[in-house]
């Protein structure tokens, strides 16, 4: 069984138990032939099927090494004829929670496993399926959905230093060194980026292992066959260790995806797997992707543009975004390196130019950016709008252009703009004229190729000066911006319920409080997280509308502190890691907090904290 400690999308740092061994996951187990205690090429016979009794037996001997201690671990499974192709699953021994299986399953098999307690899931034909990128992705989603989030998923004989990152990303907890040691046995010096078939390790050494250092030690000389292979095995062992450490480091920083994207550059098959993961697995992966983030993440490759948080932002924007009702003038500007954009020198210069407008609060400032499409000023703090960086060359690919034009169409459909200024250079953004042709109501205001040149800023200022004075005072303007953010975060219905006739905002903009007509605080804005936190009265006010954000708590649980897995029955379909969670017994709010795990895990995860509770509900 595994107990999650920290999530990075579908990759999970957890504390796990396999047999009698407690270990931190994800992990790579060192394959050792029986009776041996140093990394050597395993004897192939130890990995082959042997026949015993009626059924063939698969014996896989491995050593799990933790903190210098070695735990021999043997998994023995009796298997049927359909070893590679057909699906089967066996609990062995019965009642242990240890399941060995091959995939695909019939519905009956799937239902049987799904209803069982699965502590360890040993996926015996993973290596066979890893030849087809699409099948492998289909398999792993079905398997994880079926065995549940508490199972330790172990895929023997497919882990290599080059693919530890992507396999752990997809939620495989345990891999082993068998395949790399076999490659070493065939003469390869293996690295995450390439294999070298040279007689000697690459020089000067690319690696810090003992076998790679130049030395007069005769062991390292290409002497007898056994020694040659031993050196490669020592090297392989070291490469596994290094890459596994890198993977864990990246998960801790919630950036494993970045390591995966660098690895696929050397391995086209992995790129295929990642593309299927992003397309076929879109909803599966999105449901396990956090809605709040920290730091800056580089979006460099085409694959970066398809990251789940990016896809989600674009989809949510084109499907649900509604501009603040008070905004009657749209101003499109380029994004900036500094996040949030409003803090950048370029955006400050443009804001100054616009400040001459008789009613600046009528202006809706919207940044054009890749790969998000557009980011309106009030959404600048929403994840991932303030958490990315990308190479900027002024060239826009076909998909990048579509993301922007789709988003602009959404603005035009749902907004109430009488005037538009496109403060973007003709040279770089001329393709936007397809949706924003210059006209009496749509002015392109950049002179030359720089949006921040004195001439361009002057022109923007003139545009602002020509605007009519409106009668939208700043208070309601900000309230309408809050409505847009709440709609984006929750739904239009929830936003409208929270902001009704008498609601108002209190406090400083980065910690606004939304207050009801009765003076109760309904929600508080957390600027650095880009999210509104509901209070208990706020949650009570929207409870009938907020099923998608609710977590049903077992009625016999008396909630005192945080919510733990056994106390949760289920969660609404919009609950994500980092999202608001309204804790309810069905008809009563028993607390509000932040979900720590994906919605689909509620009711299935067996141990671990699932909601960090901010406030408990009023007593019944």
Handedness of CA 266, 270, 275, 281 (dihedral sign): negative
Buried b / exposed e over 18-38, threshold 16 CB at 10 Å, is beebebebbbbbbbbbeeeee
Rounded distance between C-alpha atoms, residue 54 and residue 272, angstroms: 40
Nearer to Zn ion, 233 or 436 (CB): 233
Q: Which run of H or of E encompasses 408?
A: helix 398-414
Q: Least separation, in Å, of the C-beta of 238 and Zn ion?
A: 5
| 207 vs 505, beta carbon nearer Zn ion | 207
Residue ranges that bind Zn ion, judged by CB under 5 A? 207, 209, 212, 235
Q: What is the DSSP string of 575-614?
A: --TTSEEEEESSSSEEEEEEESS-GGGTTT--SSEEEEEE
Write out the two tokens for 174: 């345990």
The b-or-e profile of 522-546 (16+ CB within 10 A means b, else e) is: bbbbeeebbbbbbbbbbbbbbbebb
**Which is nearer to Zn ion, 197 or 440 (by Cβ)?**
197
Q: 451: which residues sit within 8 A by CB, 6+ positions away?
A: 333, 334, 346, 350, 423, 424, 425
| Closest to Zn ion by CB, 15 or 196 | 196
Distance between CA atoms of residues 211 and 486, nearest Å = 59
Q: How far is the CB of 311 from Zn ion (least distance, A)?
A: 39
The DSSP line for 206-231 is SS-SGGGS----GGGSS-SHHHHHHH
**Minimum gap (Å) between residue 114 Cβ and Zn ion:** 44
CA-based R_g, the chain, Å: 28
Helix (H) or strand (E) holding 72: strand 69-78
Nearer to Zn ion, 183 or 512 (CB): 183
Q: State in angstroms the smallest separation of the CB of 221 from Zn ion.
A: 15
String of DSSP letters for 530-567: TEEEE-HHHHHHHGGG-GGGEEEEPTT---SSSEEGGG
Nearest to 176 by CA among 33, 46, 27: 27
Quote the least distance from Cβ 218 to Zn ion, whole Å: 18
CB of 235 to Zn ion, least distance (A): 4
Cα–Cα distance measured from residue 171 to residue 194, given in angstroms and rounded to the nearest whole number: 24
Q: Which H/E stretch holds residue 525?
A: strand 521-526
Tokens of 559: 């909630």
Q: How far is the CB of 209 from Zn ion (least distance, A)?
A: 3
Nearer to Zn ion, 122 or 181 (CB): 181
Whether residue 204 has a cis bond before it, omega within 30° of 0: yes
We find the least distance from the C-beta atom of residue 42 to Zn ion, in angstroms, to be 19
Q: Report the alpha-carbon distance of residue 584 to residue 568 in Å, rounded.
A: 10
Decide whether 38 or 462 has the Cβ nearer to Zn ion: 38
Instruction: Indicate the residue among 209 and 407 with the shorter CB distance to Zn ion.
Output: 209
Closest contact distance (angstroms) between CB of 208 and Zn ion is: 7
Residue 31 CB, nearest approach to Zn ion (Å): 18
Shortest reach from residue 60's CB to Zn ion, in Å? 26
How many CA within 13 A on the CB side of residue 373? 24
Do 552 and 579 contact (CB within 8 A), yes or no? no
For Zn ion, the closer CB: 241 or 609: 241
Our CB check for Zn ion shows the closer of 163 and 231 to be: 231
Shortest distance (Å) from residue 242 CB to Zn ion: 9
Between residues 212 and 407, which has the closer beta carbon with respect to Zn ion? 212
Whichever of 40 and 380 has its CB closer to Zn ion, that residue is 40
Least distance from Zn ion to the Cβ atom of residue 233, Å? 10
Beta carbon nearer to Zn ion, 209 or 563: 209
Burial of 401 (0-12, 13-18, 19+ CB in 10 A): middle
User: Given the complex with Zn ion, which of 160 and 559 has the nearer CB atom?
Assistant: 160
CB of 216 to Zn ion, least distance (A): 17
What angle (nearest 5°) sits at the alpha carbon of residue 394, between those of residues 389 and 400?
Answer: 70
Rounded to a whole number of angstroms, the minimum distance from the CB of residue 46 to Zn ion is: 25
* Residue whose CB is less far from Zn ion, 196 or 585: 196
- What DSSP assignment string belongs to 148-190? -TTSEEE-TT---TTTHHHHHHTT--EEESHHHHHHHHTT-EE
DSSP three-state, residue 447: coil
**CA-closest candidate to residue 540, choices 478, 477, 583:** 583
CB 380 within 8 A of CB 344: no
């Amino acid at each position: 069984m595994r107990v999650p400690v920290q999530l990075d999308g579908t990759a999970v740092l957890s504390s796990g138990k396999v047999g009698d061994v407690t270990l931190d996951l994800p992990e790579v187990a060192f394959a050792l032939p029986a009776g041996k205690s140093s990394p050597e090429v395993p004897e192939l016979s130890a990995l082959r099927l042997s026949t015993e009794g009626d059924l063939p037996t698969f014996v896989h001997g491995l050593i799990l090494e933790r903190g210098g201690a070695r735990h021999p671990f043997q998994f023995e499974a009796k298997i049927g004829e359909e070893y590679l192709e057909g699906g089967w699953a066996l609990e062995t021994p019965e009642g242990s929670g240890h399941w060995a299986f091959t995939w695909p399953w019939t519905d009956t098999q799937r239902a049987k496993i799904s209803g069982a307690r699965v502590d360890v899931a040993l996926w015996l034909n993973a290596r066979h399926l890893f030849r087809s990128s699409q099948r492998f992705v289909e398999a792993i989603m079905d398997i994880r959905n079926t065995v549940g989030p508490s199972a330790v998923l172990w895929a023997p004989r497919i882990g290599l230093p080059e693919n530890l990152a992507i396999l752990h990303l997809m939620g495989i907890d345990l891999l082993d060194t068998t395949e790399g040691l076999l490659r070493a046995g065939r003469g390869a010096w293996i690295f995450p980026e390439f294999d070298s078939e040279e007689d000697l390790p690459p020089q000067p050494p690319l690696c810090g292992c003992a076998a790679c250092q130049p030395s007069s030690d005769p062991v390292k000389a290409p002497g007898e066959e056994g020694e040659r292979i031993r050196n490669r095995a020592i090297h392989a062992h070291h490469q596994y260790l290094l890459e596994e450490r890198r993977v864990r480091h990246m998960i801790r920083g919630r950036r494993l995806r970045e390591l995966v994207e660098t690895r696929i550059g050397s391995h086209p098959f992995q790129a295929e797997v990642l593309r299927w993961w992003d397309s076929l697995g879109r909803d599966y992966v999105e449901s396990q992707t956090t809605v709040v983030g920290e730091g800056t993440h580089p979006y460099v490759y085409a694959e970066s543009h398809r990251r789940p948080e990016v896809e989600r932002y674009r989809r949510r924007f084109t499907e649900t975004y509604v501009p603040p009702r008070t905004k009657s003038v749209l101003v499109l500007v380029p994004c900036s390196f500094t996040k949030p954009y409003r803090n950048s020198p370029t955006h400050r210069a443009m804001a100054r130019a616009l400040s001459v407008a008789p009613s600046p609060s009528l202006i809706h400032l919207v940044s054009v950016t890749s790969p998000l499409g557009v980011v309106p000023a009030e959404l600048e703090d929403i994840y991932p709008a303030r958490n990315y960086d990308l190479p900027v060359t002024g060239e826009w690919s076909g998909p990048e252009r579509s993301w922007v034009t789709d988003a602009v169409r959404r603005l035009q459909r749902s907004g109430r703009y009488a005037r538009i200024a496109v403060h973007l250079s003709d040279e770089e953004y001329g393709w936007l004229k397809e949706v924003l042709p210059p006209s009496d109501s749509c002015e392109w205001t950049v002179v030359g190729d720089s949006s921040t040149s004195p001439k361009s800023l002057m022109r923007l200022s003139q545009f602002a000066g020509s605007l009519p004075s409106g009668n939208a005072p700043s208070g309601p303007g900000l309230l309408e911006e809050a409505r847009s953010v709440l709609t984006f975060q929750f739904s239009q219905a929830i936003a409208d319920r929270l902001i009704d006739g008498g609601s108002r905002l209190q406090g400083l903009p980065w910690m606004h409080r939304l207050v009801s007509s009765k003076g109760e605080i309904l929600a508080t804005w957390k600027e650095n997280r880009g999210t509104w936190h509901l209070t208990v009265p706020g949650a009570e006010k929207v409870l009938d509308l907020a099923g998608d954000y609710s977590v049903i708590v077992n009625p016999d649980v008396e909630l005192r502190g945080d919510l733990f897995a056994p106390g949760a029955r289920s969660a609404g379909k919009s609950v994500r890691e980092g999202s608001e969670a309204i804790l309810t017994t069905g008809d009563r709010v028993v607390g509000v907090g932040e979900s720590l795990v994906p919605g689909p895990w509620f009711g299935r995860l067996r141990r671990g904290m699932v909601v960090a509770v901010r406030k408990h509900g009023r007593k019944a």
